[in-house]
Structure 1
Amino acid sequence: MELRQLRQALVLADTLNFHRAAEQLSMTQPPLSTSIKKLEDELGVLLFERLPSGLRLTQAGDAVLRNARSALFFVEEMRRAARESESGERGQLRVGFVGTAAYTLLPGIIGRFREQYPHVDLVLEEGIGSDLLQRLEDHELDVALVRFPIAQPDAVRITPLMREHLVLAVRHDSPLAGNDQVAIADLTDQPLIISSQSRSPAMYALMLRVFEEAGIQPRIVQQAAQLTTALGLVESGLGVAMIPLLAAKYVGPDIRVVALSGLSENLLSGIALATLPGLITTTARNFCEHAMGVAT
């Protein structure tokens, strides 16, 4: 078995087409077919079903290729380790982050990290928390700054960096806009915009627990995958939205932010580091140390 065969099988699994896979691999189709057949013979299992409509990955193939992806990851890590010093002062670091981290922790972390490690190539990629966690598991990111609470995959370690209360974002002409604070019970009849259940299930659950503890049924009119979407809907007059406190200073001029009274300490959100234990590079570990230093 050769690494070349594993890479070929992964490309074929992505395309499920020998011709397209061969093009991506800069080779012709016959030697690719031969290589995949030899790999299947060596493993003693069928990786792909050859159907009239095309290829389909078998259950055994799915299991084998998951391990192949990990194997290639470790090989690449060995190559990266050979190129970098033990101190992690060189190389590339792929950092994912949610938008609210850019408002708060990220600038300070990046500034301090660049000062100490000027030769590290930082690749910063913004995204939604659930997508960032998946990319971390797929080894497409080295570390991520995500919002918590979050429906955390078993493989990912979540380390909270900062915690904050939720506040209420309302349109400037709302009857609530002039209040210093609002009780959750006062939101009974208010049209509410909350985090998306499919994209941010833990944040969605947190917001529902806020109302559950207050003993009221929220009037949910819209779910939003991102904070900017929720704020845009508030500005349009669709409803009110609960947002993280530190994001409040970045709302538009037509939105007012009102404190929520009576929230218990277990109803907090915040920013956390997400890493893969056992797979973290020296450079990523250095970044995490800087992140925790900025947060304290």
Structure 2
Amino acid sequence: MAIDLRQLRQFVTIAELGSFRRAADALHIAQPALSVSIQKLEHAVGTPLLARGAKGVSLTPAGQALMHDARRALFHAGQARQAARRVALGEWGTLRLGFVGSATYMLLPRCLPAFRERYPDVELDLREDSTVGLVSMLRANDIDAGLVRGPLVEDPALESWVVERDDLILAVPAGHALAGLACAPLAQARHESFVMYSPSKVPGLHGVALSLCRKAGFTPRISQQGIQVQTLVSLVASGLGLALVPGVTRAYSTPHVSFVPLCDPDAHQALSLSLVTHRDTSCAPVLRLRDSMLDAPAR
């Protein structure tokens, strides 16, 4: 006959209080029902566990032997229940989070410290890749969520939330004629060479940058392509052309490159970083991270 946790809890309560009556009151159960339950426990064990006496109830030698393991079983059951609850609430577990490089400029430093302080038992497994690579990893279940550059192609299996918006600005060599301007129309760069994002690896940024150039009346002459924003900035510093980069790139300024705001209205809030995950995700920490990012104060 099996022993259940309810019986062990009743047994421990009787032993600790030394009375069936007091235990019944503490457990909110009728005393006859408690007596029947303990009889079933003793039958399952195969020997008496409690002895009634003039001074109350005491443990038999068998009861003393059971007491230690009963308390330990109740403790571990409580721990297991709490752990399962915390996992379900997203307060414990592992979160495999992918991110594009530019998420490290502002978004991650702004949001992750508060998230880690609030959920210290969620282990973060961080992986950097391109937007295309992250979406592929997500579909293969290699990560639980990704921070990617939009816009994203509609996918009914995925769900996304914009967690940061940013302007598109112009990166130019430090000695360039546009360097130091408070604001410049993109059309002034129509005759320049550009270093551009790879259309196959970074389609979102590539499409937004190309569209902005076309709205300014020209198709950019592309000299080099790159995947990471910092790579494009390095290519600009090397004199290989100008680049359109997120405004947050200014946080990692270099003496060899100047960042020039654009006057073009379409450049304002042209970019987005989105948290994307499976629509039916079972990884509750993803939702806690989403809430933290959406609630975080804007930069």
Answer whether TM exceeds 0.5 for this pair: yes
Q: Contact 2:159 / 2:279 at 8 angstroms: preserved in 1? A: yes
Task: Indicate whether 1:214 and 2:181 are aligned.
Answer: no
| One-letter amino acid of the counterpart of residue 228, structure 2 | Q
Question: Is 1:150 matched with 2:149?
Answer: no
Q: CA RMSD, aligned part only? A: 2.0
Amino acid at match of 2:237: E
Q: Match of 1:282?
A: 284
Count of residue correspondences? 216
Query: 1:191 offset after TM fit, Å?
Result: 0.6
Instruction: Give the letter for the 1:205 counterpart.
Output: G
Deviation at 1:132, TM superposition (A): 0.9
Q: How far apart are 1:265 and its partner, in Å?
A: 6.4
Alignment partner, residue 252 of structure 1: 254
Counterpart selection for 1:194 from 193, 196, 203: 196
Find the counterpart in structure 1 of residue 24 from structure 2.
Answer: none
Q: Is the 8 A contact 1:151 1:202 kept in 2?
A: no
Tell me, in whole angstroms, the C-alpha distance in 2 between the residues paired with 1:125 and 1:139.
Answer: 13
Partner of residue 4, structure 1: none
* Structure 1 residue 227 corresponds to structure 2 residue 229: yes
The CA deviation at 1:160 is 0.7
Find the counterpart in structure 2 of residue 184 from structure 1: 186
Q: Which runs of 4+ in 1 moved over 3 A?
A: 81-85, 150-154
Equivalent residue for 2:293? 291
In the alignment, the residues of structure 2 paired with residue 267 and residue 252 of structure 1 have an alpha-carbon distance, to the nearest angstrom, of 23
**Alpha-carbon offset, residue 275 of structure 1:** 1.1
Do the aligned partners of residues 266 and 105 (structure 1) sit closer, same or farther apart at CA in structure 2, a change above 3 Å counting?
A: closer
Distance apart, 1:263 and its partner CA: 2.9
After TM superposition, the structure 1 = structure 2 runs for residues 112-131 of structure 1, keeping only pairs within 5 Å, are 112-131=114-133
Contact 1:105 1:295 in 2 (8 A): no
Unmatched runs of 5 consecutive residues or more in structure 2: 1-82
Which has the higher mean CA deviation after the structures are superposed, 213-222 or 144-153?
144-153
Q: Distance in 1 between matches of 2:205 and 2:152?
A: 6
In structure 2, the residue matched to 1:134 is 136
- Contact 2:235–2:241 under 8 Å retained in 1: yes
1:130-171 per-residue CA deviation (whole Å, 9 max, x = no partner) reads: 111111111111111112223454422221112111101111
State the match for 1:38 in structure 2.
none
Provide the secondary structure at the position in 2 that maps to 1:94: strand
Equivalent residue, structure 2, for 1:97: 99
Q: Does the CA contact (< 8 Å) of 2:173 and 2:239 recur in 1?
A: yes
Distance 1:280 1:247 in 2: 34
SS at match of 1:221: strand
Distance 1:291 1:137, change over 3 A: same
Unaligned runs of 5+ in 1: 1-80
Matched residue type, 2:205: M
CA separation in 2, counterparts of 1:157 and 1:87?
19
- Name the CA distance, whole Å, in 2 between partners of 1:94 and 1:274: 12
Question: Is 1:268 aligned to 2:270, yes or no?
Answer: yes
Counting only pairs closer than 5 Å after superposition, residues 78-97 of structure 1 correspond to structure 2 as 85-97=87-99
CA distance in 2, matches of 1:213, 1:90: 48
CA separation of 1:168/1:243 partners in 2, compared to 1, >3 Å: closer, same or farther?
same
Deviation at 1:235, TM superposition (A): 0.6
Match of 1:55 in 2: none
**Residue in structure 1 matched with residue 108 of structure 2 by the alignment:** 106
The TM-score normalised by the length of structure 2 is: 0.67
State which drifts further: 105-114 or 146-155: 146-155
User: What is the aligned-residue identity percentage?
Assistant: 32
Q: String of CA shifts for 1:69-128, please: whole Å, max 9, x gaps.
A: xxxxxxxxxxxx969643222211111111111111112322111112111111111111
1:28-67 equivalent positions in 2, closer than 5 A: none
TM-score, scaled to structure 1: 0.68
- Cα separation, 2, equivalents of 1:279 and 1:85: 13
Q: CA deviation at 1:192?
A: 0.8
